[in-house]
Amino acid sequence: MSILQVTKDGVFGEGSHEFGGSYVPEQLGRALEKLNEAFEKYKDDQAFEMELQYYLKEYVGRPNPLYFAERLTNKLGGAKIYLKREDLNHTGAHKINNTIGQVLLAKRMNAKRIIAETGAGQHGVATATVCALFNIPCTIYMGEVDIQRQALNVFRMQILGAEVVAAKSGNRTLKEAVDEALADFAENYDNTFYLLGSCVGPHPFPLMVRHFQSIIGREAKTQILNKEGRLPDVITACVGGGSNAVGLFYPFVDDLEVKMVGVEPAGKGIETGFHAAPLSTGKPDIIHGFKCYVMDKAEQCHSIAAGLDYPGVGPEHSYYKQIGRAEYVSVNDEEALNAFLTLSKLEGIIPALESSHAVAYAMKLAPTMSKDQIMIVNLSGRGDKDVTQVFEMMQMNEFKSMSEIGK
């Protein structure tokens, strides 16, 4: 029996230690029920699985490598570090695994339009991409503030044929974009599919997103067994909503000798209140229709990596934390930026600022481990999208490690 206990209603754990579930108005509940029925029907369907595998191979470019980072390993002088190269996927990150899976489900459900939320724009781009591929009209909800901050990603979505709609309530960022997408879905679910971007939200989204992202861990497991003949000692990934992490972790959950570590953004420092680390600092609460660890409302959701700043987190991670199956740590902006520059220079791989959090943690942990130990780091995405931001920060001289560029 698996150590992971989850009910058919998507509730992890029990009693006062429950996470996940679905706390939504009646009409949205009906939309989610219909979605769950379709997911249950197709997730183990052979024709569906074959079509999914076809697109993952031919369009996304899977399997991507599990790369031995030899220079990084030698420099740190401890555990062998392997990088799972999600950055090499089409569109440059793990998000496409999930959007391909969900768009195929939307097609099976005869959806006439697809909607999605986006914060920094990465999930919006991944959704607009698969909607172009399958010729389905696409509407992306994005906070008005984020639209101004991420003009190029908005333009990318428009090039791909999507309509971007501004969420104008509240703080006008990701939270409001999710609220508006959920409202649209509740209203129009007879012809509309809501393609959610991480393992968060009401049931069945966390289980569905995990299903489509676990290809990461399944591949990594086969690859490490081929290369090393054994399982890794540690696997690690950054945690925003938690989908790239749960995708890596889930296939290892019952291999208790494999330590799983999720890395949250400590932003300007946990003590400053400017961070996005609900697992490190938050309390169980309800957000967007599900129960998970949520940041204190007095704190400001912030990270150098826009893709990590969500005030809640996936229910499965909340549960892993509670039962002690995974450990959650945090890495601040400066450490992430330092890892971004280090990996670029040592391996010729520019990681996404999100993924740089996992690399930064590996740089702390590896030297404390022995040379015959093995660590897998999920490189969730590539850093091309972040180069302008890093350039601007360099002009402002915000960080010490910047002075290393060009030396």
Ligand X SMILES: *Cc1c(COP(=O)(O)O)cnc(C)c1O
Where do contacts with ligand X occur on this chain (CB under 6 A)?
93, 95, 122, 198, 238-245, 307-308, 352, 354-355, 380-381
In angstroms, give the least distance from the CB of 303 to ligand X: 10
In angstroms, give the least distance from the CB of 397 to ligand X: 26
Distance between CA atoms of residues 295 and 281, nearest Å: 7
List the one residue out of 199, 221, 245, 209 whose CA is nearest residue 357: 245
In angstroms, give the least distance from the CB of 379 to ligand X: 8
Distance between CA atoms of residues 347 and 382, nearest Å: 13
In angstroms, give the least distance from the CB of 92 to ligand X: 7
Set 214, 303, 356, 380: catalytic member: 380
Cβ within 8 Å of residue 96, ≥6 positions away: 60, 89, 90, 126, 129, 130
Nearer to ligand X, 13 or 124 (CB): 124
Pairing between β-strand 234-238 and β-strand 374-379 as defined by DSSP bridges: parallel
User: Quick one: which H or E segment has residue 215?
Assistant: helix 215-228
Crossing angle (nearest 10°) for helices 174-188 and 26-42? 80
Nearer to ligand X, 13 or 381 (CB): 381
Q: Is 117 a catalytic residue?
A: yes
Nearer to ligand X, 72 or 350 (CB): 350
Nearer to ligand X, 186 or 301 (CB): 301
Q: Residue for token digits 């067994």?
A: 225
CA atoms lying within 13 Å on the CB side of residue 394: 15
Set 84, 95, 321, 385: catalytic member: 95
Set 86, 117, 180, 316: catalytic member: 117
Q: Residue for token digits 């990461």?
A: 216
In angstroms, give the least distance from the CB of 123 to ligand X: 6
Distance between CA atoms of residues 171 and 157, nearest Å: 22
Nearer to ligand X, 93 or 207 (CB): 93
Strand order in the sheet with 138-143: 163-167, 138-143, 113-118, 192-194
Q: Is 380 a catalytic residue?
A: yes
Nearer to ligand X, 189 or 262 (CB): 262
Nearer to ligand X, 186 or 199 (CB): 199
Distance between CA atoms of residues 149 and 135, nearest Å: 28
Cβ within 8 Å of residue 229, ≥6 positions away: none
354 within 8 A of 308, measured Cβ to Cβ = yes
At residue 199's C-alpha, the angle toward residues 83 and 58, to 5°, is 55
In angstroms, give the least distance from the CB of 60 to ligand X: 14
In angstroms, give the least distance from the CB of 228 to ligand X: 25
Q: Is 163 a catalytic residue?
A: no
Measured from each CB, the residue nearest to ligand X is: 381
- Give the catalytic positions in this structure: 95, 117, 380
